[in-house]
Structure formats: C-alpha cells, structure tokens
A and B are shown apart, each in its own frame.
Chain A
Amino acid sequence: MNYPAIKAIYIFEMSRMRRTLFQSIVSPVISTTLYFVVFGAAIGSRITEIDGVSYGSFIVPGLIMLSILTESVSNASFGIYFPKFSGSIYEVLSAPISYIEITIGYVGAAASKSIIVGSIILLTANLFVPIQIAHPIWMITFLILTAISFSLLGFILGIWADNWEKLAIAPTLIITPLAFLGGSFYSITMLPPFWQKITLLNPVVYLISGFRWSFYENADVSVYVSVGMIGLFLLICLMLVWFIFKTGYRLRV
C-alpha cells in the first residue's frame, strides 16, 4: 500500500476545503438556518409533532442527510473532475499508485468533508431545537457509510463527466430531488398508500429512515433494510469504480 500517496491526495483535497472555507462550511450552516426558519418555524408551527417528535427536531436527521448526500457527491465529483479538466490528472495516472489507493484518497477526503459539514449542521441545529441521539454508534455508522457511498457515486460522476454541465446535472437533477422526496422533511407514512409504495423505490428513503431511527427510534422502514440498502449501494459503487479503473474508462485511452 502506497500510504504516502494516499496521504498526499487526502491532504491535497482537504486543503481545498481550507481554501474555500466559506463555501465549504459557512454555506451549509446558512442553508440549514434557512431551512429551520422556513420548515421549522413557518411550517413547523402548523405541524406540531410527527411520531411524538417535534417537527423541528424531526427534520434534523433529514437535513443532515440532505447535506451529506449533496456535499459527498459534489466534493468527490469536483475532486476528480478538476484534474481531468486542467490536465493535471496525468500525474495521478503516472504515479506508482493503485486504483484502490486513488479511490481511498479522493473518496476519503470527500467523505471527510461531508462528515465535517454534517457535524456542523448537527451542532447548528442543536441551537434551534432539542436533539436526542438514541443510538450514537448507529448514527455515526449511517453517517460514515452514507458519506462514503455517495462520495463514491460522486467520484464515478466526476470520471464520467466530460464537461461542467454533466458535472452539475447529477446533483441538481438526481440527488437533490431524491433527497427532498426521500422523507427529509416528512415521514413517508404521511403520504397516500400509493405514493408510499412509489417512494420505496427511492434509495434515499432508506438512508434517511435509518439515520432518523438512530436519533429518535422512529423509522419508515426497518433499520436492517436501511443498512442492507446502504450496503448494496456501496457495493454497486465499488463495482463501478473497479470497472472504471480496470478499463481505464474516461481516464486512460
């Protein structure tokens, strides 16, 4: 294992977060505050409780998950796309580093950033509403697994994208709608039966449900199903990354 190389990529990627501190940290904090104002205060005053939890507290896991998904995808996709765009990818491709190490470096950094952002949102939310974490170990497990899975997805998207438009399409047209429709701001039991069934096709439902369970022990689907779905998603992403590096898809000609 080429540990110095993994460390170099990781530090290099994390240093971008330092350079763009406002965009990386302050923006999510402001967004979260706005969500609390709009959903927590305005709408929350009309929806007092969901499954025994105040609406403001109920949306916290969904908000964190929403940020984790979007941050993981955007950080990882940008991290690998930008060297491709600037041409500096030649250095990574010519270095004595395996595809596993490349992936650990880029995905590890993207996942770390999104976990940091998620933690900041959790702390910010705590200023507005009371939060309890019933299963902290599970909460951290869900957080890490989701961050890694969606960073892998972002990494794949960054390799697939050959222009800026494609890079922006997936987070805007896929991730954000899935997160919004995945129960970030409501329980899927609040939907009519038909839409409940349709919603179960959305993989994000399982992530948010499992994550919310680790807070309030309320879940739309079984926690084991949630873990299984994250595991399955992780496996699919790993297989796609393996295929990309095996074939050199969009990296080596």
Chain B
Amino acid sequence: MSIMDSIIQIKNLSKTYADGFQALNSINLDINKGEIFALLGPNGAGKTTLINMICGIVNIQDGMVSVDGHDVVRDYRKTRSMIGLVPQELTSETFETVWGTVSFSRGLFGKKQDTLYVEKILKALSLWEKKDNTILTLSGGMKRRVLIAKALAHEPKIIFLDEPTAGVDVELRQDMWEVVRQLKEEGVTIILTTHYIEEAEQIADRVGVINHGELILVQEKNSLMLELGQKHLQINLVNPLKVIPASLMDFRVELSACNKILIYTYDKNDDFGVSSILELLSSLGIAYHDLDTKESSLEEIFVDLVNRKLT
C-alpha cells in the first residue's frame, strides 16, 4: 500500500448556513491513506464544518466527498463505517458507564460486541480501571479519553480528532499522541485539528491551513517548514554598535534595543548567508562572543500565512 493512495477526496465543497454565514468555500483536498494530516486554522475557520460534512453530521450543499472511492451521501453506510470521530466538545451520555458507552458505540457502527477488543482499547487509553464508572464522575481529561475510545470502538480506518487535546493535561496529552502513533503504525489515517500547533509539528505528515472557509495551503510538513520557515542567527557582540554598518544593509539584519545583538533572518535553504555575514563582521573588525540560531516553528509559519491572507 502506497502512502500516496488517496483515501478521502474532497471536491469543490462549499457550505453556507441558513443565517448566510459561508463556512466553506470550494474546498478541494485529498487525504492520503495512512497519513497524519493536521488541519490548522483559527477559530471559526471552517475546520469542524469540514469534518462534520465528511462524517455526515452536516449536510453537503455543494461539491462532493468520497471516502475510499465511495460517495459519503450515496454510500453513507460504507463511508461512515470506516470513520471514527472524536468531537471537539466533551459530549457523552452522562449517566452511562465507560464500558456501556464504548460498547454502545461499537454496536451503533454495526459491529458485533467484542469484549476483548473493547478491553484492549480501554487499557490502551488507561480507562480500564474506570470501566464501571459513570461518565459523570470522570475528569475532563478522562472524558476526552472516553471519546477517543468510542471513536475507536468500531475499528475505523480513518479517525478524525477535532481538538483532541483541548483541556487535557501534559501527561494525558503524551499518552494520546502515543495512541495516535500506534494507530498510524496500524495503517489508520488520522486527520486532526489542534490549537497546539507544536503538536502538529511533532506528529503530522502533512499540514493544511484553512481560514475563512478557504484552504490556503496544503503541504508536506517538512517541506513547508523548509520553504516557509526561517532561521534567525543571533550574534552577541562584544561592544555595542550605534548603527548597522552600510555593508550589512544588503542582508536582513536588525540591531537589538541594547545595541549588543545583531539578528540576521535568513531562509533555511540559504547556504551562504551566515558565512558571508561572519566574514563581513571580521573584515569590519566587529568582535562577537557568542552565536545562537533559532528556527521558526510551524506556529509562526501558520500565523504568518493567516496574516498574509488577511492583508
């Protein structure tokens, strides 16, 4: 199986709600089989609407979505049985037990009860000890785990995680990403939205950025960071400078407020800028005692992309 095989195809998908708000505007997107795809965007960008349309919760107005070659409207039984959804809100049957609600999810998706499988999921998500507890008695983080267990209960090929780590403590978050990595190893395709962009940076294969209902960009995460990411070289000077020397003006150089740090910003694929700057500084007799480099994060790239679109 090639990772480049598309499992979800979205063509010209648009959605305008009854109040006139256009949530999605002609979205075209292919999700590859077995990948982790991070969908990033500010609040109200259209991430949840997109997910809900694929899952069948929101009606499709214009365009089409197919899952593994099946249309999500016409062949909804096939497509939905392949998908598991972890919603953004902590929604579950308050008075039901953990075991009961996960078993319910499995049945709802047409699978016969399999106590061993449900046990395996609950143990993987550290919920086994709580299996007889009602949802009401669980903490927010544990409720989030229950939602993940419910989404996995029918052994889906695709899983949507809509802000899965919102309100979850660090330890729990690490556990969840471990589960996500295991799912990827098992060949499950994962589409996630998250506010913690550093998580997408760590875990995603590809990134899509959505804003105002439009897909601004879809790219391999590594190539995106290489292409749009920037590096910053911080040169700590021995003596403060009054102004930036004229010969350095051709470079993107700034002088810090204390006049003792020069900051050079350059593209990641710029091979000669750093050595040129250092040579120039030596030739100008400007001494420095320390160097420090910093790489822009996916979050910075994301903010930059969204701001660029706004301007």
Chain A contact residues, CB within 8 Å of chain B? 2, 4-5, 7-9, 11-12, 15-16, 19, 83, 86-88, 90-98, 248, 252-253
Instruction: List the 3 closest A-B pairs by CB distance, nearest first.
Output: A8-B107, A87-B91, A96-B80
Query: Known: A86-B91, A86-B94, A253-B17. Contact between A93 and B57, CB under 8 A?
Result: yes
Least distance between B253 CB and chain A CB atoms (Å): 52
For B85, give its contact among A12, A15, A87, A90 (CB under 8 Å): A90
Query: Known: A83-B93, A96-B77. Contact between A90 and B108, CB under 8 A?
Result: no
Taken together as a complex, chains A and B put the C-alpha atoms of A45 and B76 apart, in Å, by 62
For B18, give its contact among A4, A5, A95, A253 (CB under 8 Å): A253
Interface of A is mostly: helix
Least distance between B84 CB and chain A CB atoms (Å): 9
Known pairs A4-B110, A7-B107, A90-B57 / 8 extra A-B pairs, C-beta < 8 Å: A4-B108, A5-B108, A11-B107, A12-B96, A90-B87, A95-B108, A96-B79, A96-B80
Contact B59 A86 (CB under 8 A): no
Residues of B within 8 A of A95 (CB): 80, 108-110
Interface band, chain B: 35 or more
Contact B93 A5 (CB under 8 A): no
Contact B110 A96 (CB under 8 A): yes
Residues of B within 8 A of A94 (CB): 55-57, 80, 83, 85
* B84, closest chain A residue (CB): A94
Taken together as a complex, chains A and B put the C-alpha atoms of A19 and B134 apart, in Å, by 11
Taken together as a complex, chains A and B put the C-alpha atoms of A95 and B18 apart, in Å, by 24
Interface digits, B46-60 against A, CB 8 Å rule (1 contact, 0 not)? 000000100111110
Taken together as a complex, chains A and B put the C-alpha atoms of A68 and B134 apart, in Å, by 30
Contact A91 B105 (CB under 8 A): yes
Residues of A within 8 A of B103 (CB): 8
Taken together as a complex, chains A and B put the C-alpha atoms of A4 and B56 apart, in Å, by 20
Show 24 residue pairs from A and B whose CB-CB distance is below 8 angstroms, ordered by the A residue.
Answer: A4-B110, A5-B109, A7-B107, A8-B107, A16-B95, A88-B91, A88-B92, A90-B52, A90-B55, A90-B85, A90-B87, A90-B91, A91-B105, A93-B56, A93-B57, A94-B80, A94-B83, A94-B85, A95-B110, A96-B79, A96-B81, A96-B110, A97-B77, A97-B108
